[in-house]
Chain A
């Protein structure tokens, strides 16, 4: 079955670099797009970026200078790297799968599976 699971350091010092891994199973990274979404404690959701099934990436313009998303298809892993971390980067980081459905006329897109999320705390 389809699963995604985020993993990472938990605690990162200010100004350092965050590295997270999203390990997927039940589908191929060359067939589906994987996105990253984060959520500060007690707050709403923020879309961070995507690695498309073809390997290209797009990022939230607010994070683009600091953010990089890559993958290793042989290991079914997607990587998020973000540098110059500040306390406001504290939160839960989710990876999810964006799926496509087609009814013969429209192509529909949606996030159908999410990982459980991994908590990242930026603190000295």
Chain B
């Protein structure tokens, strides 16, 4: 199974800071059609996960432009510029290139 390793496990930030989360895959996530099935989800406390980024770098409808996804192959990054209170929670990367689909273990974004 593909293992997604997220770092750091937790991230303490001050509001307005930039945050960066890494997601490294044990195998390339580029599918045979050239597409990379790498997504980012945020789970706020007591809520279901919500989609932020799909296809590595595409922001879902309504997601602010301070969320930026990047990367290729096995290395991916989610950057959040100017962290706001509603950004706090646990971030998960997810891959659907290889069966079974897998999630990273999560990165908890909290206030310093």
Contacts and interface: CB of A to CB of B under 8 A. Distances in A.
A114 B49 contact: yes
Contact of A116 (B48, B50, B99): B48
Report whether over half of chain A's contact residues are helix, strand or loop; otherwise say mixed: strand
B100 A110 contact: no
Contacts of B51: 110-112
Nearest to B105: A44
Interface string B72-112: 00000000000000000010101010011111111000000
Contacts of B54: 108-110
A115 interface: yes
Interface in B38-76: 39, 41, 43, 48-51, 54-55, 58, 60
Given A45-B92, A109-B96, A117 B101 contact: no
A47 B102 contact: yes
Interface of B: 1, 35, 37, 39, 41, 43, 48-51, 54-55, 58, 60, 90, 92, 94, 96, 99-106
Interface of A: 35, 37, 44-47, 58-62, 94, 96, 106-112, 114-117
Contacts of A58: 99-100
Contacts of B101: 35, 47, 60
Contacts of A96: 48
A50 B37 CA distance: 16
A50 to B, nearest CB: 8
B1 A61 contact: yes
Contact of A47 (B55, B90, B103, B106): B103
Nearest to A106: B35
Nearest to B53: A110
A106 to B, nearest CB: 6
A94 B39 CA distance: 17
